[in-house]
Amino acid sequence: MHDKLFEPLTLGAIQSANRIFMAPLTRARSTQPGSIPNEMMATYYRQRAGAGVIISEATGISVEGLGWPAAPGIWTDEQTEGWKLVTDAVHEEGGKIVLQMWHMGRLVHPDFLGGDAPVSASATKAPGHAHTFEGRKDYEGARELSKSEISRVVEDYRKAAENAKEAGFDGVQLHGANGYLVDQFLRDSTNLREDEYGGSPENRTRFLREVLTALVDVWGADRVGVRLSPNGETQGCDDSDPAATFGAAAKVVEELGLAFLELREPGPNGTFGSTDVPKQSPLIRSIYSGALVLNSDYSPEQAVADIEAGRCDAVSWGRDFISNPDLPERFRIGGEIQPNVNVPQSWYLPGPEGYIDYPTLDEAEKASA
């Protein structure tokens, strides 16, 4: 019934055994201080290596870019060595894993920056609350990056990409979605600049192009992907003409020849904001000729229908992979999909509970025998 999900897929130089991808999921289990990946994280990813491609949790490229308690980084040697535990574990199980590269921009609270203001495309302030080590706090105003600082941030991405290569990943994905720094440059509600990085959709994609070019320099285009969220408002970041903006972004991705493009298109109850606006994936599909991955609240039946109709090449699942480490096998045999428990508390709490203690089908059957 779900055979289409188990056909192999080529994404540039990455060979995926199936079309069931694991979406990036922040789980906040890195070792502190230092935001260092560890053995528990390696176990978590090993358990889920049946995905065609695992897209890692969002990973900070620099101190400036990471504002989530206990999320991992990739800017130090210690972090790079920690990630080797993870990539080795996934590869030992025959899986593939790419690193999602993250700069949160204005969504970094000054607590993470020694009291300094966060940076963004423009001097704006996000609505709502930041997660900090001391609990929730109101976001504070960001300052606009100068052009010389933009060049420095691009180099931060380049260095992080080099570290990801050293750590043994199969490729990298730029996090350009969910209202974080790249998205803050893309959308006109957060990009108020009047220089070559602001104004027209083409100008607002300039930062995206420069970062992706740096990643391609390190990895080759055939091992680089990007995630975009061409839907409505997300974490206070919105756009007055998403078709123009994300059509321009898709053109950048096509011109650079990236291996894959993942799109978040959530329904009315999406994690990072809801949307009832028209989906932009048909437009993007008409512009970008590489592997297109769609994400958000899919059933396997819906995924098969979209792949067979040519609307995408693969689908990424997030929350279902939390409580079903063997999700592809459950899809294959029509097994029960375990619901999340203790949600959302266990998503971000430290320790193994709600993280590496979900049983596979085999384990559950043995335990009940």
List residues with catalytic annotation: 180
What is the distance between the alpha carbons of residues 59 and 28, in angstroms, rounded to a whole number?
A: 10
- B/e letters for 228-237, b = 16+ CB within 10 Å, e = fewer, are bbbbbbbbbb
Nearest to 7 by CA among 361, 331, 263: 331
Are 233 and 182 spatial neighbours (Cβ–Cβ below 8 Å)? no
How do strand 119-120 and strand 143-144 relate by DSSP bridges? parallel
Asked if 42 and 88 count as a contact pair (C-beta separation under 8 A), the reply is: yes
| Rg of the chain taking only CA atoms, in angstroms | 19
How far apart CA 272 and CA 197 sit, in angstroms, is: 25
The full length of the chain comes to: 369
Distance in angstroms between the alpha carbons of the first and the last residue of the chain: 28
Virtual CA dihedral for 122, 123, 127, 133, nearest 10 degrees?
100
CB 27 within 8 A of CB 57: yes
- DSSP calls for 297-341: S--HHHHHHHHHTTS-SEEEESHHHHH-TTHHHHHHHTPPPPPPS
If phi over 0 gives left and psi between -120 and 50 gives alpha, with beta otherwise, what is residue 202? Answer: alpha
Are the beta carbons of 13 and 259 closer than 8 angstroms?
yes
**Are the C-beta atoms of residues 2 and 332 closer than 8 Å to each other?**
yes
Alpha-helical segments (H) within the chain: 39-47, 77-92, 147-166, 181-186, 201-204, 206-219, 242-256, 281-287, 300-308, 319-323, 327-333, 345-348, 361-368
Cis bond upstream, residue 282 (ω within 30): no
